[in-house]
A and B are shown apart, each in its own frame.
Chain A
Amino acid sequence: DQQVKQNSPSLSVQEGRISILNCDYTNSMFDYFLWYKKYPAEGPTFLISISSIKDKNEDGRFTVFLNKSAKHLSLHIVPSQPGDSAVYFCAADTEGGSEKLVFGKGTKLTVNP
């Protein structure tokens, strides 16, 4: 049973445009969500997070939106840059943190110059 779903295995956008990566979750106990970015031959690196008490969190070009009623979150990258090309993982956790951070399968983003 996949609790965190990233239904798009890949996404391709033009440099300068917006990238929107989507994530859905099924477990209503999840209250804290994270996005990780992964380049080939490197470990995932933390990008941005959001708590369920918010519906939006912004950090520079990266914004995460959370729709709790729909159990859906999205990561917006504006403007997209070629260096953003990577695999993006959505992850979910319970408030206060648990040891079982659950990851989605990832979306490979390609930003074309």
Chain B
Amino acid sequence: EAQVTQNPRYLITVTGKKLTVTCSQNMNHEYMSWYRQDPGLGLRQIYYSMNVEVTDKGDVPEGYKVSRKEKRNFPLILESPSPNQTSLYFCASRRQGNYGYTFGSGTRLTVV
């Protein structure tokens, strides 16, 4: 089944404790992206990647890091999480051209 898999689904952590949210896609898509969804703000792009070793900032990159060492994986790293990073995070992938993103099921992160 073609899908984007992100883990974990739910995570509660404390301020300053480094964490990684993993994302993997099995569709051989070139583009991958991380979004966060917050009430009243919709979906905002954090980082994106056009292919292996090619990443760039989205609209809200502060406090996040990403890497794209393999085509299928695009982990999101929070080096020192803060409470304002409490949010619902979505990983997504798509192939080149006018094709919509396929989204993962989301990771609800709470930073206390």
Contacts and interface: CB of A to CB of B under 8 A. Distances in A.
Contact of B42 (A49, A51, A93, A103): A103
A100 B48 CA distance: 8
B41 interface: yes
Contact of A43 (B96, B99, B104): B104
Contact of A44 (B43, B58, B97): B43
Interface in A70-113: 89, 91, 93, 95-97, 99-106
A96 B41 CA distance: 27
Interface residues of A, number: 27
8 contacts: A43-B4, A43-B104, A43-B106, A44-B101, A97-B31, A97-B99, A99-B56, A105-B42
Given A93-B98, A97-B97, A102-B45, 18 more contacts: A6-B42, A9-B40, A36-B100, A42-B105, A43-B4, A43-B103, A43-B105, A44-B43, A46-B100, A49-B98, A91-B100, A95-B98, A96-B98, A99-B49, A101-B33, A105-B41, A106-B42, A106-B43
In the A-B complex, list the 5 residue pairs whose CB atoms are closest, starting with the nearest: A43-B103, A105-B42, A46-B100, A103-B43, A99-B48
